Structure 1
């Protein structure tokens, strides 16, 4: 007789409520059969048996809370991976030989980031059999090393900033201190919770998740890990292998004092000073985070301005905030080398206007973009071509590659390296795999940047319109004229709309100010659907909200702003 012990729940869940019990005394069960329905914060799922045999006693009741390590039932049988000899059990606790398995499926997806796992779920919704392959952690860079953990840091930074100003709101908070270990711990908990949720969704949709590195030969994908040696034959393959942080090819780029955007998310202490190489989105987000945490921050940017892809009025607001906060900016500056001082601090050498400069900081963050993971699988074996610049996989509007049964999505295509773009590309790719005719539309892709004040843009910006020779007009409403922004003491920034007064269409929009990353979505559908802006004048927005600034900017298109003249 053996006891069936609860060894695992969905993802990293530790406790669950017992729902319907699926076994009874005398029932013969085998590995993979359901034992009971479980309910947790992650949703409902079935706990499955790892044993073969006959149930002797059921030790759980419906409605009870059960946790990992507790007994479910007693069974006359054995665990599926145990070996028995002449009735005497000999247990193998060493590393078992990987089980060879041939798998056939409709769609195999290589990479479990925001492109890959969303594609897998959409494929399952459409009735496909799906295998999802991930060599590291489910959720990819976005969940584990990028968007989500960074925003957890942003929340800590913003909260600390707000508490520093609490006396203005009549609150005396006393002396405050930062605990970087707790900040990192909370970040890890957020990541873990979201990872659990994805694993639950994969289980819910019966998606087979295989952990390991994919090797391809012609139309076969090979995966080998400690438990499985699999050969996968798929009707269609989706490549979603993502990207990795880039490093400048300069002396000292690999010194221990040089971090990437992934390394910095696991800080054990707050650096007293830091030099950030790169004033793009990632570099500037960390500039504000670390400034809030108390670091002396210096940013060195190669182009004419920080956030150089954005319009000048947006750059001006962010630059002014940097000056007020004491963030030092060096633009039109080329980093030449990184070296160590006698006391092991980082010396960053850069040239600007023909002169050589030196910056000393406790550490360096290299934030100079990302490179597509093109070497993670053998593209030649799949017959997949690169784009003209050889920096991404070549795809068409259906996300198909030069091999019509292979698709590519996300950063590995080097189109627009944003998580939500990868997710939608995954949906487009899957729908085409399943016989639909879906195309990727890049005309209204919103972008969110979590600097201070935060900003969001969608559609055309002024720089693009000028480059393309597209005529436009502007309507702009400042947050200093918005009631909620004033009551929050957060009045920097504006809502700006680019519009065509001939066709009555909104061409693009930018929001910089309180809640900008959420407010920008108000414009996405208006631009994508080419809505006639004259039909929007009677749309009612709640008061008092920052969204009223969106309404005022729309009214301003026809010269009808109410609260600004």
Structure 2
């Protein structure tokens, strides 16, 4: 394939390869390329594994681990209904190879298609940074320019700055899924969705898991009721230690187990009335694998966006307008777009995919720009049990519309017929609504298949269906578990829709 080149007037400047469109990132950004670009020049720039986070190290492989782990960890559930199940063992290498045998093939075929088979696309397998408006330079010195540039560079795991964090036994979510064998002891540092998913995975597969957090509860970004319920459940399933921060990781002998040293966090010290830093305020845990699940950082800082004059928000992501155009001084930059983890803090594949659809349209229809209006944003945690959420927490709703206008219903899974069948004592569906209109403001679930149970509530909120109309305007299959949603809707103090 060929690309046109041009030489800048500045002496010593490398000839630039010019494209109609450059996409930085091969995840959701890769979906921007359609037949509309045939006959033009398109470049996909990615110095990592082709296909992005979700395919290679995120959503898909983690859920391919989560399901087998849910089977392996089902002894407690079975015992509640008088069934004795025992996990005889897990063939971890076979499980790993089945997962990545499929994923790696998809990544490789996607790369070959864009690089070798599609005659109007060029793949640049390097890291890149801005060296001017609409100008990029790769690590090897290639200069790329374009009429349109889309920044879809994703995010990466962030690590605490402590001694020993670079030891071979220390992993992030990017690397921990390709271990050669199932570790006997795993220490998980962090309490967010990545941390609890992997804690459940390794526990379900048979590892001894200790999860260490600096606060008092897991999943603190969720509604307080759900966060508290999940923390209680997880603490009965694997070992959860609260109020600790990592300080140092000490290597073992002959590449043996490492030791993780923790100090009391200020939250933990306050909780126990102990001064942080005293001799009694330290914890040591030995582990074969340490998973640092302490957050993700948008890759904005790797792109030298100041060279292009782009605005960065206080959250560290690129600023965009409603049309996904990048901003400079608060104004949209012509021909510059952004999507995914570099422009939003959701760090969710379905959000990036929707933003990609908006950008894809606006790139080829500049006279008919479409806004990103899709809301609210749902999310799910595929731990054991699952957690799912959409909209406002109870406290956020109170802050937004006032306590007198908020109605809340907490419905236990164990109060409906299928919950009886499960002998469920953990599941909870919590709905938050506007008392005046019946409009759903938030929905929060913890329990069996919470992610699937959430979807009809997402639909109701997205299309403006009030709580009573949703409950009484359709049949609910009896005795399906979805009746927990029906009963929660009916328990809200909202106007009667007139439907029986």
TM over 0.5: yes
> Deviation of residue 442 (structure 1)?
6.6
Distance (whole Å) between structure 1 residues aligned to residue 118 and residue 460 of structure 2: 33
Change (3 A) 1:173 1:524: closer
The match for 1:266 among 172, 178, 185 is: 178
- 1:336 corresponds to: 247
Contact residue 212 and residue 224 of structure 1 kept, 8 A:
no
Q: Deviations over 1:373-394 (max 9, x none)?
A: 12443423333232235x2222
- 1:491-502 equivalences under 5 Å are 492-502=426-436
| Counterpart selection for 2:474 from 539, 543, 548 | 539
Compared with structure 1, are the counterparts of its residues 196 and 443 closer, same or farther at alpha carbon in structure 2 (3 Å cutoff)? same
Task: Say if 2:40 and 2:120, in contact at 8 Å, map to a contact too.
Answer: no
The Cα of 1:515 is off from its aligned counterpart by: 1.3
Structure number with the bigger relative contact order (C-alpha 8 A, sep ≥ 6) is 2
Q: 1:483 to 1:559 in 2, by over 3 A?
A: farther
User: What residue in structure 2 maps to residue 306 of structure 1?
Assistant: 218
Residue 473 of structure 1 pairs with residue 402 of structure 2: no
1:535 shift after superposition: 2.6
- Displacement, 1:540? 1.5
| Deviation of the 1:224 alpha carbon | 9.4
Deviates more, 1:240-249 or 1:204-213: 204-213
Separation of aligned partners in 2, 1:409 and 1:501: 36
Q: CA offset at residue 463 of structure 1? A: 3.2
| Greater fraction helix | 2
1:510 maps to 2:444: yes
Aligned-pair Cα RMSD in Å: 3.5
Provide the rounded CA distance (Å) in 2 between the counterparts of 1:345 and 1:464.
44
SS in 1 for 2:220: coil
In our comparison, the structure showing a higher alpha carbon Rg is: 1
Cα distance, 1:196 vs. partner?
Answer: 6.9
TM superposition shift of 1:258: 1.1
User: Given the alignment of the two structures, is residue 161 of structure 1 paired with residue 73 of structure 2, yes or no?
Assistant: yes
CA 1:127–1:158 in structure 2 vs 1: closer, same or farther (change >3 Å)? farther
Residues 99-178 of structure 1 mapped to structure 2, 5 A cutoff:
104-105=19-20, 107-113=21-27, 115-121=28-34, 124=36, 130-162=42-74, 176-178=88-90
Alpha-carbon distance in structure 1 between the residues aligned to 2:456 and 2:209: 34
Aligned residues of 1:103 and 1:232 also touching (Cα < 8 A): yes
Match for residue 314 of structure 2 among 380, 388, 392? 388
Cα distance in structure 1, aligned partners of 2:189 and 2:467: 42
Maintained 8 Å contact 2:216/2:242? yes
Residue pair 1:134, 1:209 contacting (<8 A) in 2 also: no
Please report how far the alpha carbon of residue 175 of structure 1 lies from its aligned counterpart in structure 2 after TM superposition. 6.7
Aligned residue number for residue 446 of structure 1: 378
Rounded Cα–Cα distance in structure 2 between residues aligned with 1:201 and 1:531 = 43
Q: Higher mean Cα deviation, 477-486 or 406-415?
A: 477-486
Aligned length: 456
Give TM-score scaled by structure 1 length. Answer: 0.72
TM-score between both structures, scaled by the size of structure 2:
0.80
Distance, in Å, in 2 between the alignment partners of 1:133 and 1:525 is 36
- Unmatched segments (≥5 aa) in structure 2: 3-14, 270-275
The 1:275/1:180 distance shift into structure 2, 3 A limit, reads same
Give the secondary structure class of the aligned counterpart of 1:557: coil
Aligned to 2:125: 212
Q: Which residue of the other structure, out of 286, 294, 305, is the alignment partner of 1:368?
A: 294
State the 1:136 CA deviation.
2.6
Q: Which structure carries more strand by proportion?
A: 1
Q: How much does 1:470 deviate? A: 3.7
1:149–1:190: 8 Å Cα contact kept in structure 2? no
